[in-house]
Structure 1
Amino acid sequence: MATYCAVLFCLAIPYAEAEEVIKPKGVVELFTSQGCRSCPPADRAFEQLVRQGDVVALAYHVDYWNYLGWADTLASSENTERQYGYAKSFGRSGVYTPQAVLNGRDHLKGTDAAEINRRIDSMNGKGQGLIVPIDARRTGDELTISIGASTVAGIGKADVVVVYFRENQTVEVLKGENTGQKLNYWHSVTDVQTVGMWDGKPLDIVLPAKVIGSDKSNGCAVLLQAASQDGQPSRIIGATVMIKKHKI
């Protein structure tokens, strides 16, 4: 029950007016850091992807560059742990920034939005895209996450993962490799929660929608994500994102 409350923390912001639900062509997870001099170009490319409106774009700030003199204000050890989990899934011995992980299947340096789009489009052509439909809708006091059935042989169980994030914020870096820069960050992840297990059959998860929120998060994504044999994050086979739209 506590997990569900944490999930809805991002969906019931009192000052928000309505939700926008996006049906995406792919998922981009950017691992970045305020203390990495190579990351600002990737953060700008990531903003382009967010503004496209056709991908689930999630930015995970990691903490392993904090020793360079600036502690990333958006970083968490959980974000770093997720990146190391992907490294194990990819058979890599280490991690790097800025790293973009695409659909949980592939990775590349996250500075080129055009190349990221090309890779996602190529995945879709190979059947490595978001092949299981997911919808999120709010009706009255309830939020329903609806996941469709598997139509592809060999698709087994997957976790239903909710990632919630802050839509946009600006940070002034006072120390370290990016000293003096005011950096604009989009879709910075604040928490990740697993809320259920999908077994290939249609699944509805109904949650209470009237939960007191705060300005910590104003958007969330739902990922249908398989795990590797040793339990690390692996391919993402379905996704959607819901963003609270503020009054103008």
Structure 2
Amino acid sequence: MIAPTFALAIALPVLAATSSVLVNPVAAQAGDLKGVVELFTSQGCSSCPPADAELARLADEDDVLALSYHVNYWNYLGWSDTLSSTASTDRQYGYARSLRRKNVYTPQAVINGADHVNGADGSAISKVLKKLSAIGAGMTVDVKVDMTADGINITVGPGEGKADIVAIYYDEANVVEIKRGENSGKTMTYRHSVRDMETVGMWDGETVNLKLPATVISAHPGRKCAILLQVVGPDGSPGRILGAARI
């Protein structure tokens, strides 16, 4: 589905961390990711369920960070997506500017912030991941994360360029009964739906060691966290993802 053509400014909101206690420290999975796949989807899009299923498959892969962003521009069709947000829509329109596209669509899979395909086409996603890796546009900067009771230690290795260090907070799974709209009557399980994001640091090509307080995670109870090292354009549009790690 091609989205309505209207302009939106990209926003990566910086969120305040307010909770005080972190329990069950967890080690990060880092250094072995071959790519990041970001699916832009909607509960009100009849073309999206196959892409949601493909994203769910990727979410169980150890070497791919799969994230789902629910956009809100289809909400007028009769069902308001319960996971949608303006921030997700803004991010997709930001990618459209970065990728020099005139419009956006669902389901769209953006790979490593550098290319896109139909999110339901698992074969195409795999081919793009391999292509980007072959041309040096894969995960080229090492990102490692360790989480303890005291906080989060992020290490970004050396490389070229400048990028933001972005924390992404997402749900493991959401079960939604859709009662109206194009997918009326379906009960869907959505994986890795992004609910919040914040820029937590900057990188200029030199090794960065960043320590965040435990409250950064405890402010998002029950959610998982990933760290992206992402180039951001002068207008704030998200660009290529240089590295990533999951907590």
- Residue of structure 2 in register with 1:113 after alignment: 122
1:220 corresponds to which of 225, 229, 236: 225
Name the amino acid aligned to 1:170: V
Comparing 217-226 and 227-236, the one that deviates more: 227-236
Paired with 1:218 and 1:212, the residues of 2 have a C-alpha distance of 8
Out of 129, 142, 145, the residue aligned to residue 154 of structure 2 is 145
Choose from 61, 80, 95 the match for 1:86: 95
**Matched pairs, number:** 233
Query: Using a 3 Å threshold, how does the CA distance of structure 1 residues 3 and 68 change in structure 2: closer, same or farther?
Result: closer
Match of 1:178 in 2: 183
Aligned to 1:205: 210
Secondary structure of 1:191's match? strand
Indicate conservation of the 8 Å contact 2:17/2:215, yes or no. no
Structure 1 match to 2:49 = 40
Greater Cα offset, 212-221 or 45-54: 212-221
Q: Does 1:21 align with 2:21?
A: no
Give the structure 2 partner of residue 5 of structure 1: 17
1:195 counterpart = 2:204: no
Scaled by the length of structure 2, the TM-score of the pair is: 0.87
Q: Is the CA contact 1:164–1:217 (under 8 Å) kept in the aligned structure 2?
A: no
Q: Give the Cα separation in 2 of the matches to 1:63 and 1:216.
A: 24
Q: What SS class does the counterpart of residue 176 from structure 1 fall into?
A: coil
**Structure 1 residues 159, 51: closer, same or farther in 2, change over 3 A?**
same
CA distance in structure 1 between the aligned counterparts of 2:178 and 2:228, rounded to whole angstroms? 31
Which residue of the other structure, out of 239, 243, 248, is the alignment partner of 2:244?
239
> 5+ unaligned residues in a row in structure 2: which ranges?
1-13
Cα distance change, pair 195–18 in 1 and its aligned pair in 2 (3 A): closer
Whole-angstrom distance in 2 between the partners of 1:182 and 1:214: 29
Q: Letter of the aligned partner of 1:5 in structure 2? A: A
TM-score, structure 1 normalization = 0.87
Cα distance between partner residues in 2 of 1:210 and 1:91? 38
The alpha-carbon distance between structure 1 residues 178 and 3, as it changes in their structure 2 partners (threshold 3 A), is closer
Give CA-to-partner distance per residue, 1:76-109, whole Å, 9 cap, x none: 0010000000001111111100000000000010
| Root-mean-square deviation (Å) | 2.2
The separation in 1 between residues aligned to 2:119 and 2:133, in whole angstroms, is: 19
> CA contact under 8 A between 2:29 and 2:246: conserved in structure 1?
yes
Partner of 1:159: 164
Residue 4 of structure 2 aligns with which residue?
A: none
Structure 1 unaligned spans of 5+: 243-248
Distance 1:17 1:171 in 2: 30
Report the alpha carbon displacement of residue 20 of structure 1 after superposing the two structures with TM. Answer: 4.9
The alpha-carbon deviation at position 196 of structure 1 amounts to: 1.1
Q: 1:212–1:125: structure 2 CA closer, same or farther, 3 Å change rule?
A: closer
Give runs of ≥4 in structure 1 deviating > 4 Å.
214-217
How far the C-alpha of 1:142 sits from its partner, in A, is 2.2
